[in-house]
Chains A and B, each alone.
Chain A
Amino acid sequence: MSPDEPLRPDPDALLAATPRPGRGRLKVFLGMAPGVGKTYEMLRAARRRKAEGGDVVVGVVETHGRRETQSLLRGLDVMGRAPIDYRGRTLLEFDIDGAIARRPELLLVDEYAHSNVPGSRHEKRWQDVEEILGAGIDVWTTLNVQHLESLKEVVWRITGVRQRETVPDSALSRADEIELIDITPSELRQRMAEGKVYMADTARIAAERFFKPENLTALRELALRRAAQTVDDQLLGAMKRAGVQGPWAAGERILVLVGPDAVAGSLVRAGRRLSDMMMDAPWVVAHVERPNAPAPSPTASARLNDALKLADQLGGSTVVLTGDDLVTATLDYARLNNVTQIVVGKSTLPRRNPFRKSLITSLLDASQGAALHVVTEQAEAEPAAPRTPRRSLRSWPWMGHLGALGLVGLATAVAALTDRISDDANLAMFFMLGVLASGLTLGLWPALTAAAVSAFVYNFFFLDPRLTIWIGHPADVLTFAVFFVAALVTGWLTGRVRDQGRAVSRRAAAVAALLAASRRLSSAVGHAAAAQVLAEQLAAATNGAAVVLTPGEDDIVLSAAAPPLDALTSMDFAAARWAWEKGEPAGAGTGTLPNSAWTFRPLQGGKARAGVAGVEPHAVQAEEDARFVGALLDQGAVALERAEFAAQAADAQALLRSDRLRSALLNSVSHDLRTPLSTVLGSVTTLLDYGKSLDKATQRDLMLSIREEAERLNRYVGDLLDMTRLEGGALVTRRDWVDLRDVLRAAVDRVSRRLETRQIIRDFPPELTMVKADPSLLEQALVNILENAVAYSPDGSRIEVAAYEDRANVVIAIEDEGRGIPTAELERVFEKFRRMEEATDRGKGAGLGLAISKGFVEAMGGRIAAASPIHDGRGTRILISLPKEHQTPEQLL
Chain B
Amino acid sequence: MSAHKPRVLVIDDEPQIHRFLGPALEAAGYEHVRADTATEGLREIARKAPDAVVLDLGLPDMDGKAALEKARAFYDGPILILSARDRETEKIDALDLGADDYVEKPFGVGELLARLRVAMRHRLHRVGAEPIVEAGDLRIDMIKRLVSKAGVALHLSPKEYDLLVQLVEGSGKVVTHRQLLTAVWGPAHTEDVQYLRVFIAQLRQKIEPDPSAPTLIATEPGVGYRWLG
Contact = CB atoms under 8 A, between A and B. Distances in A.
A115 interface: no
Contacts of A679: 14, 16-17, 19-20
A685 B110 contact: yes
B28 interface: yes
B187 interface: no
Contacts of A837: 60
A682 B16 CA distance: 9
B23 A682 contact: no
**In the A-B complex, the 3 residue pairs with the closest CB atoms:** A690-B27, A679-B16, A685-B108
Contacts of B86: 666, 670
Interface string A812-850: 000000000000000000000000011001000000000
Interface of B is mostly: helix
Interface in A658-689: 666, 670-671, 674-683, 685-686, 689
Contacts of A838: 60
Given A674-B84, A690-B27, A694-B23, A681 B15 contact: no
A138 interface: no
Interface stretch (A381-389, A697-705, A878-886): A697-705
Contacts of B6: none
Which of A666, A690, A702, A837 gathers most chain B CB within 10 Å? A690
B55 to A, nearest CB: 15
A705 to B, nearest CB: 5
A678 B107 contact: yes
Interface in B20-59: 20-21, 23-24, 27-28, 58
A680 B23 contact: no
Given A678-B14, A681-B106, A701-B23, 10 more contacts: A674-B84, A675-B105, A677-B105, A678-B105, A679-B20, A682-B108, A685-B108, A686-B20, A686-B21, A702-B20
Contact of A682 (B15, B28, B109): B109
B27 A681 contact: no
A702 B16 contact: no
Contacts of B21: 682, 686
Given A705-B16, A705-B20, A690 B106 contact: no
Interface in B59-107: 60, 84, 86, 105-107
Interface residues of A, number: 28
A693 interface: yes
Given A682-B24, A694-B23, A689 B14 contact: no
Contacts of A682: 17, 20-21, 24, 106-109
Contact of B106 (A678, A686, A701, A841): A678
Contacts of A709: 16
Contacts of B28: 690
Given A676-B16, A678-B14, A686 B107 contact: no
A364 B108 CA distance: 104
Chain A CB within 10 Å, residue with most, of B21, B107, B109: B109
Contacts of A675: 14, 16, 105
A677 to B, nearest CB: 4
Nearest to B36: A841
15 contacts: A674-B106, A675-B14, A678-B14, A679-B14, A679-B20, A681-B108, A682-B21, A685-B108, A685-B109, A689-B27, A690-B23, A690-B27, A694-B23, A708-B16, A837-B60
A680 B24 CA distance: 13
A709 B14 CA distance: 12
Nearest to B15: A841
Nearest to B16: A679
Contacts of A693: 27
Contacts of A676: 16
A671 B107 contact: no
Contacts of B60: 837-838
B89 to A, nearest CB: 14
B108 A671 contact: no
Nearest to B24: A686
A693 B21 CA distance: 14
A698 B16 CA distance: 13
A678 B17 contact: yes
Contacts of B110: 685, 689
B189 to A, nearest CB: 33
